Amino acid sequence: MIHNTKAHKFGMLIDLDKCTGCGSCMVSCMAENNVPFKEDESRKKDSITWMRVYKLTNGKSFPDTEVVYMPRPCQHCSGIGDHGHSPCVSVCPATATDYGYDTGIVSQIYTRCFGCRYCMGACPYHARYFNWWDPKWPEGMENYLSPNVSPRMRGVVEKCSFCYHRYQLAKDKAYAEEREIEEMEYQTACTTACPAGAITFGDLNNPAHKVTQIVKPDPHPVPGNPKVVGKSRNPKVFRLLERLGTNTKVYYMSEREWVRKAGDNYLDGEWDKVKNHHGAETSHG
Amino acid sequence: MDSALIPEGAKRCEFPKFMLGIAVVGAVLLWGVYAMFLCWFKGLNQTNMNDYYGFALWIWADLAVIAIGGGAFFTGLLKYIFKIDELKNIINFAVIIGFICYSSALLILAIDIGQPLRGWFIFWHANVHSMLTEVAYCLSCYFAVLTIEFIPNILENRQLNKVSFFHHLAHNMHGVMAIFAATGAFLSFFHQGSLGGVAGVMFGRPFAVRESLLIWPWTFFLFTWSAAAFGPCFTLLVTKITEAITGKKLVGDKTVHLLAKISGWMITTYMVAKIIDTIYWATVTAPSLGFTLDHFYSNNAFYGYWILFAELIVCGLVPGLMLVVKSTRENPKMRLIAIILGVIGVCLNRWVMVLQVFAVPVMSFDNWALYIPSWQEVATTVLPVAYGIILIAVSYRYLPVFPQELELNKPAEAAAE
């Protein structure tokens, strides 16, 4: 009778060669998760965008200019050595953010957060957002809020949850029907909204899931950098700031070398040593 | 008007003049209180912080006052545990300064958090992995210790001391103060250290992260060391300012020279450790994470190499050596320059370890984040300073803070009469 006992490790793959930068993921995320907006949205550094799309260029002038759009949700880090101490979780003094060992999802308990913002300081991805204002929606729009996601009050930190409420709904349904969750039953809002099909979401512990098949995560620590676990064996796939050992569960994919190089910081000459083996390279996280 | 409250034999200014001074500083205090209420009732949108720059000016002030308030625990340790009796002439004042610094730090934290009414969650839902949890516990406990250390001095007020119970309580508290001094030193070791650990454990921020020594990053030890080293500088500086304002000699030269010498050696040895730390971080830690030193100090409008040079050399090694060398240490002007540089140096260190950490971009395609504090942030940062001035003024006027005061000023007062 007991189901869903296997430890999941939900993760995401974003194909940057498919992403058109349309922003559908951002919009769907805001709508799905009751993300409020400000009366004046001109100052972007205090806007809340759980999913943010960065614009990257190769730095070359026309006609060699190339542009890529990089959607960036919370990276759901599992921390050094994959032990669950993600940068934000280990610093939160009130355990308001936590790592789910059964899902791999980094959660945020809004009613427990008291707004010290230490987690924001610890996150190198700027994936965490503080509610500088009380949430306000245009008149009538309150009726469109999702009943499955609690709105957040002023003074607390929030971030992408991989649409955790969707997981709960799918889990409840599967439990009632005495079976495991199927791949397509739990998909994030951004995944389903992406018109280009650039986002793939699933369980990285399940070899049958598409995301696992593309990413091919290595469960062993990288020799030479034991902080890094879960590195992709696909040479076209990379993670942001991988060598820091944050061990994110959001993977990016691109055929283009300069895009993969933008994923991390390299000293002079380092990239040349790893580029041909990126993904399979052992000495470099 | 209030002569009955003033310590016997001590000369103080006229009451109206005193109240005028208090009113002027009180106006600044009220300005800060107004800004504090704005932050509490309207929220942190009153500041210029943002999601990139999540720590305000006042958090730097918070760390800075804790560092310079380190004079209290270190002087207490030297006086009560290491039995350096000469420091009895400045310990009361060191404790008052520490009390002001730590109460200010707690007040600043109460303004800083987004949900002030939930501040107690840090104790209730404590995450044992978080350095900030340790900071909160140690800070609160040490503030309690400082309060206990301050109480006997308050009870020695001329009128309060007439009450037999208070008189004996103060006497007995003095007798057992070594226990509290030891407790304070123990707690300070941890909370000063954990404040350093706050930055050192952020492995997602290569500018801050340091490798571990035992179970802590070595910023843990550097912060404790620097507070013990530079804290006495601040005690000496405030003593000097108080002497200048009151026009009296309040602490004997022998005590000042001794504390300055201890501070000088502590600063110099700390700077050696800090420079080794910086070299290791710049040549091993940062490159292992893909960064050059240049990345942290260029391509922005504020954080240049000047800040590193100012912290390590101008406001670090220089004041340390000035206080170690007898001729400069015992020269009043040179000593004053050294203690001012020292105080600036430790404040600069706290600025770098809190605010520059946020400003440095980590992702290869990200940019530097700089900000200018709002007036509310400035006012709430000035607030503890005004509060401190008032508390020092009231303490000096009504409590026997400086045991050498009468003795040191007797000739001058006799000549004046």
Q: Which DSSP category does B158 fall into?
A: T
Residue A213 has a CB neighbour count (10 Å cut-off) of: 14
For B127, the 3-state DSSP assignment is: coil
Collect all residues with Cβ–Cβ distance below 8 Å to A35 and sequence separation of at least 6: A29, A48, A49, A50, A158
C-alpha span between A120 and B329 (Å, rounded): 44
**CB–CB contact B54 A54 (8 Å):** no
Collect all residues with Cβ–Cβ distance below 8 Å to B68 and sequence separation of at least 6: B101, B227, B230, B231, B233, B234, B343, B346, B347
Q: What is the per-residue DSSP string for B317-367? A: IHHHHHHHSHHHHTSHHHHHHHHHHHHHHHHHHHHIIIIIHHHS--STT--
Please answer whether residues B224 and B217 qualify as being in contact, where contact means their C-beta atoms are separated by less than 8 angstroms: no
Q: Does A235 touch chain B (CB under 8 A)?
A: no
Residue B205 structure tokens: 């921020």
**E strand or H helix at B216, and its extent?**
strand B216-217
* Residue in this structure with the two tokens 């504020």, named with its chain if needed: B302
Q: Does B399 touch chain A (CB under 8 A)?
A: no
- Using CB atoms, which residue from A90, A91, A115 is nearest to B114? A115
* Alpha carbon of A39: minimum distance to chain B alpha carbons (Å): 13
Pairing type for strands A67-72 and A52-57 reads antiparallel
pLDDT tens digits, B48-90 = 999 998 888 999 999 999 999 988 889 989 998 899 999 999 9
Nearest CA in chain B to A269: B290
What sign does the CA torsion over B131, B136, B139, B141 have? negative
Residue type, B287: P
pLDDT tens digits, B6-58 = 998 888 999 999 999 999 999 999 999 999 999 999 999 999 999 998 888 99
- Using CB atoms, which residue from B122, B357, B365 is nearest to A93? B122
C-alpha span between A264 and B268 (Å, rounded): 38
**CB–CB contact A121 B45 (8 Å):** no
Q: Using a CB-CB distance cutoff of 8 angstroms, which residues of chain B are in contact with residue A89?
A: 129
Q: Does A101 touch chain B (CB under 8 A)?
A: no
C-alpha span between A211 and A10 (Å, rounded): 9
Residue ranges, chain A, pLDDT below 70: 1-5, 276-285
C-alpha span between B87 and B85 (Å, rounded): 5
Tell me how long chain B is. Answer: 417
| Number of helical (H) and strand (E) elements in chain A, helices listed first | 8, 12
What sign does the CA torsion over A96, A102, A104, A105 have? negative
Please answer whether residues A204 and A250 qualify as being in contact, where contact means their C-beta atoms are separated by less than 8 angstroms: no
Please answer whether residues B219 and B199 qualify as being in contact, where contact means their C-beta atoms are separated by less than 8 angstroms: yes
Residue A279: the pLDDT is: 47
Please answer whether residues B187 and B179 qualify as being in contact, where contact means their C-beta atoms are separated by less than 8 angstroms: no
C-alpha span between B250 and B267 (Å, rounded): 25
- Report the complex ipTM: 0.90
C-alpha span between B226 and B192 (Å, rounded): 9
Chain A segment 68-97 residues within 8 A of B by beta carbon are 70, 77, 80, 85, 87, 89-96
Q: Using a CB-CB distance cutoff of 8 angstroms, which residues of chain A are in contact with residue B115?
A: 113-115, 153, 155-156
Pairing type for strands A250-253 and A10-15 reads parallel
Q: Does B215 touch chain A (CB under 8 A)?
A: no
C-alpha span between B230 and B346 (Å, rounded): 7
Where does the pLDDT of residue B213 fall: very low under 50, low under 70, confident under 90, or very high at 90 and above? Answer: confident
Burial group, residue B140, by CB count within 10 angstroms (0-12, 13-18, 19+): middle
pLDDT tens digits, B286-328 = 999 999 999 999 999 999 999 999 999 999 999 999 999 999 9
Residue A218: the pLDDT is: 94
Rg (CA), chain A: 19
**CB–CB contact A244 B132 (8 Å):** no
Q: Which DSSP category does B78 fall into?
A: I
Residue A251: the pLDDT is: 98
Q: How far is CA A99 from the centre of its chain?
A: 14
Residue B1: the pLDDT is: 75
Residue B157 has a CB neighbour count (10 Å cut-off) of: 18
Residue A136 structure tokens: 């306000």
Q: What is the per-residue DSSP string for A24-92? A: HHHHHHHHHTT--B-S----GGGS--SSEEEEEE-SPPTTS--EEEEEE------BGGGSSB-HHHHH-
Strands (E), chain A: 10-15, 52-57, 67-72, 97-99, 106-108, 129-130, 157-158, 199-203, 221-222, 225-229, 237-238, 250-253
Q: How far is CA B148 from the centre of its chain?
A: 19
Q: Using a CB-CB distance cutoff of 8 angstroms, which residues of chain A are in contact with residue B358?
A: 121
The sheet that has A199-203: what strands, in order across it?
A199-203, A10-15, A250-253, A237-238
**CB–CB contact B198 A91 (8 Å):** yes
Burial A138-158 (b: 16+ CB within 10 A, else e): eeeeeeebeeebebbbbbbbb
Closest CA to B58 of B357, B358, B355, B391: B355
Q: Using a CB-CB distance cutoff of 8 angstroms, which residues of chain B are in contact with residue A66?
A: none
Residue B416: the pLDDT is: 61
Residues facing A136 on adjacent strands: A37
Q: Does B114 touch chain A (CB under 8 A)?
A: yes
C-alpha span between B107 and A81 (Å, rounded): 38
* Alpha carbon of B324: minimum distance to chain A alpha carbons (Å): 38
pLDDT > 70 fraction of chain B, expressed in percent and rounded: 98
- Using CB atoms, which residue from B115, B129, B292 is nearest to A114? B115
